[in-house]
Chains A and B, each alone.
Chain A
Amino acid sequence: MWVEVLFFAAARDAAGRADARLELPEGTSAERALELLGSRYPNLHDLVPSLRLAVNEEFVAAELVLRDGDCLALIPPVSGG
């Protein structure tokens, strides 16, 4: 299956891109996808513990199982306001 990945703020700078497509085995969790992204983009690795995950524009628990076509967003610590 394929998921779309969105990078923001410090995660975007670290990955060197705003988005990516990621092929994953069925049953992959959001947390596992994040680990894979940390390996694919080495500069992202150190940020991984600080990231929150959103799927299809909602925050999700790390163990959520992804589905084909999902949009996974990497959310660094927010600082709006």
Chain B
Amino acid sequence: MQERANETLRVQMTHAAIDLAALHAEIGDPGAGAVLAFVGTVRDHKQGRRVLGIDYTAYEPMAHKLLQRIGRDILARWSLRRVILVHRLGRLEVGEASVAILVASPNRAGGFDALREAIESLKRDAPIWKKERFEDGEVWVQEGS
């Protein structure tokens, strides 16, 4: 963890559970007046049907590149101090975090805007797919949700 301490941007695709406390500790920056986080989680229903969980897959090298690009863009545009983007892959259960984006920002306004831009860009372009598991089968999700 020590060598990560000086990174301005860190991107990770991981099969391991996302540890929000560790990410929060990691992004601390004395020059930041605000740390903001967006955490996407697995919901237990979809259009009235019970969802058991979600399987995430990705075109990993391209997704990693895209998240790097998103991170670099928001860092520059909002003069952020630090950015961490982590996306989970594999089998997730209801309530688990699928994505976490954290920004350390000089001020809160830029931080909120940066987070929104990052998650919207990720949902629009990152080659990552979810397959929802229902009681009676599995379905690839076709729209960002």
The digit string for B30-65, where 1 denotes a CB below 8 A from any CB of A, is: 000000000010000000000000001111011101
**B59, A6: Cβ atoms closer than 8 Å:** yes
**A9, B65: Cβ atoms closer than 8 Å:** no
Q: Which residue of A54, A75, A76, A78 is within 8 Å of B123 (Cβ)? A: A78
The digit string for A2-32, where 1 denotes a CB below 8 A from any CB of B, is: 0000101110010000000000000000000
**B129, A78: Cβ atoms closer than 8 Å:** yes
User: Known contacts A80-B126, A80-B128; is A57 also within 8 Å of B61 by CB?
Assistant: yes
Q: Dominant SS at the B interface?
A: mixed
The digit string for A60-81, where 1 denotes a CB below 8 A from any CB of B, is: 0000000000000101111111
**B62, A57: Cβ atoms closer than 8 Å:** yes
User: Known contacts A6-B59, A54-B59; is A81 also within 8 Å of B127 by CB?
Assistant: no
**A79, B99: Cβ atoms closer than 8 Å:** no
Residues of A within 8 A of B127 (CB): 8, 54, 73, 75, 78, 80
**A78, B131: Cβ atoms closer than 8 Å:** no
Residues of A within 8 A of B141 (CB): 79
**A78, B124: Cβ atoms closer than 8 Å:** yes
Residues of B within 8 A of A58 (CB): 62
Residues of B within 8 A of A8 (CB): 57, 59, 127, 129
Chosen A-B contacts, 7 in total, with CB atoms closer than 8 Å, are: A9-B129, A10-B142, A58-B62, A77-B143, A79-B142, A80-B58, A81-B126
Beyond the given pairs A9-B129, A50-B142, 13 more chain A to chain B contacts, judged by CB atoms under 8 angstroms and listed by A's residue number, are A9-B57, A9-B131, A54-B59, A54-B127, A57-B65, A75-B59, A79-B142, A80-B87, A81-B98, A81-B122, A81-B123, A81-B126, A81-B128
